Structure 1
Amino acid sequence: MLSSLFSISNRVILVSGGSSGIGNLAAKGLAEHGAARVYIVGRRVTKLEELTTTAPGVIIPIVGDVSTIEGCQKITASFVEKEKAAGIIDANICLDLLFSNASISAKEGVWPTDQANPEQISNALLQASDDDWSKHFAINASATQLLSASFLPYLARAGKDGGFKEGRGCIVVNTSISAFYISSDAPLHIYTASKFAAESIAKSLASNFTKLGVRVNTVAIGNIPSELNSVDTSDSLVNKDKVPIGRCGSEDDIVGTLIYLASRAGSYVSGATIILDGGTLVASR
């Protein structure tokens, strides 16, 4: 009973930003726990191909750009082609889980040590370019809606004939605790704003998609090592005043959360945010 409650056996999954960091960990973990096929989307061909060697035939690369409508449509078309190549007929092509994970976090300038100096703060905030703002919102926020909309027919199909009750046909958006928590020591205004936007978009999608048989949830991730941060993986160096659990997050934490949301166990959950941060938000209040 317990194994079937949390089963993702034979599920078809797509992970954007799957070539590195959290996407890489998620793809490997989901493949290990029974997914039939895990499509990983990214722009770096070599990185994608490296990951496919960890689970040949299960982890499948798709080179694509999630930041534009055309890019998301091409990713969807490539997914359909690859499903056909796997022997799935058109009418049966579906997607059980979309993990919208692609993200960027560029440096936004050096924050002044003298935070009582308006001129220095002004200069720091103006170091980010218009292009920096556009890229962050295109990848961290807009892509959530574009990719979800592109795959909606295939997600809805997965939820038919009882699939919805089994947790099939769901979207999980990787946001960040930055959407809820701002550090005055090193504020990342563009990143924070884009992640807050992703949270809002996901909630809007949930209000529209759930009645179509597609659940939408977010995971606000905290202290987990990835290419976007410089987290030291040594638990002994974790500040318990900031992360009360006293350790960094791991692959198991990410994969366990995704399995819950994508299985029968989480089939009644939609429009929710799971805070995966070791207690960081609680400690900040």
Structure 2
Amino acid sequence: MADAPANPFDLTGRLAVVTGARRGIGFAMATALAAAGADVIGVSAQLEDGSEVEQAVRGLGRTFEGLRVDLSDRAATTQLAADLAARDRPVDVLVNNAGTIRRAPAAEHPDADFDHVLEVNLAAPFVLARGLGAAMLARGSGKVVFTASLLSFQGGINVPGYTAAKSAVAGLTRALANEWAGRGVNVNAIAPGYVATDNTEALRADAARSASILERIPAGRWGTADDLAGATVFLASRASDYVHGVVLPVDGGWLGR
């Protein structure tokens, strides 16, 4: 009898870097990767020793290293990319998840807010992808996963910087995939729908806005961070080896409405 094929979703022995890993979607992504077998380096501006994500990853039998880095600081992000790329153990998976949002009408939107959001949501992911991607290209293998958004497809309200950044993330995903797909590196993105996290707290607190959002979601509920787990493991694993330049919505059917 022939041996059963290896599980294409198995990440045993792989090392994954997850930014914004301290809570919310990043926490769920980090723990999902660990459950699939990956060791994890978690990055966050406020990641404390013995954090919940560290405990969760270690509880799954995987190693965890926490790095406290402010991704709004270009120099710090550049140094992080260089440090990770220079390590003896290569990074197999980069999940560029960290993000932030600032809400204000476009006509009143401060330059500082716009610049801050683009730095964290667009520039930092590019700097990390460039640095770690170069090392992946040299080895001929690697996975890069960006966190995009429904606002990679739509305009949103009162979030011009966030929409600009997330629309650009979708374009960046395709641009890097065009260059790297033939050299063994997969670049894709996940576009979460309306997920109950800190970033959507203001929307959920507005009863009328929350109701209007729920009315459009065919699944009939707000998403949870754990809803992103399967897509993350898929795009980080051998199961997605022929998937390049995709922005995968995980949105309860919102875009199909």
2:177 is aligned to 206
Amino acid at match of 1:102: A
1:11 is aligned to 14
**1:12, distance to aligned residue in structure 2 (A):** 0.5
Amino acid at match of 1:105: I
Equivalent residues in 2 for 1:93-242, closer than 5 Å = 93-108=89-104, 124-156=105-137, 160=140, 164=141, 169-183=142-156, 186-230=157-201, 241-242=215-216
Amino acid at match of 2:25: I
Amino acid at match of 1:40: G
2:68 is aligned to 63
2:43 is aligned to 41
| Alpha-carbon separation, structure 1, partners of 2:49 and 2:175 | 33
Q: Does the aligned pair in 1 maintain the 2:49–2:66 contact within 8 Å?
A: no
**1:209, distance to aligned residue in structure 2 (A):** 1.9
Q: Does the aligned pair in 2 maintain the 1:142–1:198 contact within 8 Å?
A: no
**1:103, distance to aligned residue in structure 2 (A):** 0.6
| Alpha-carbon separation, structure 1, partners of 2:56 and 2:179 | 37
**1:199, distance to aligned residue in structure 2 (A):** 1.1
Deviation per residue, 1:109-142 (Å, 9 max, x gap): xxxxxxxxxxxxxxx4332211111111111111
SS for the counterpart of 2:56 is: coil
Q: Does the aligned pair in 1 maintain the 2:121–2:165 contact within 8 Å?
A: yes
Amino acid at match of 1:177: L
| Alpha-carbon separation, structure 2, partners of 1:67 and 1:279 | 32
Query: Please, what TM-score do these two structures have when normalized by structure 2?
Result: 0.85
SS for the counterpart of 2:108 is: coil
Q: Does the aligned pair in 2 maintain the 1:27–1:59 contact within 8 Å?
A: no
**1:77, distance to aligned residue in structure 2 (A):** 4.5
Q: Does the aligned pair in 2 maintain the 1:97–1:155 contact within 8 Å?
A: no
Distance 1:47 1:21, change over 3 A: farther
Identity of counterpart residues, as a percentage?
Answer: 26
Distance 1:22 1:252, change over 3 A: closer
| Alpha-carbon separation, structure 2, partners of 1:63 and 1:263 | 26
**1:13, distance to aligned residue in structure 2 (A):** 0.2
**1:63, distance to aligned residue in structure 2 (A):** 1.3
1:53 is aligned to 55
1:76 is aligned to 81
| Alpha-carbon separation, structure 2, partners of 1:212 and 1:192 | 31
Runs of 5+ unmatched residues, structure 1: 84-89, 109-123
Given the alignment of the two structures, is residue 264 of structure 1 paired with residue 235 of structure 2, yes or no? no
SS for the counterpart of 1:255 is: helix
SS for the counterpart of 1:181 is: coil
Query: Please, what TM-score do these two structures have when normalized by structure 1?
Result: 0.77
Deviation per residue, 1:143-191 (Å, 9 max, x gap): 2211101112332355x4xxx4xxxx110100100111234xx442221
Alpha-carbon RMSD across the aligned residues, in angstroms, is 2.6
2:207 is aligned to none
Q: Does the aligned pair in 2 maintain the 1:222–1:278 contact within 8 Å?
A: yes
Deviation per residue, 1:226-281 (Å, 9 max, x gap): 1211276xxxx796531101233234431110111121211100111111101111
| Alpha-carbon separation, structure 2, partners of 1:8 and 1:268 | 17
Largest Rg, 1 or 2: 1
1:111 is aligned to none
Given the alignment of the two structures, is residue 29 of structure 1 paired with residue 32 of structure 2, yes or no? yes
Q: Does the aligned pair in 2 maintain the 1:15–1:98 contact within 8 Å?
A: yes
SS for the counterpart of 2:154 is: coil
Q: Does the aligned pair in 2 maintain the 1:72–1:150 contact within 8 Å?
A: no
Q: Does the aligned pair in 1 maintain the 2:180–2:186 contact within 8 Å?
A: yes
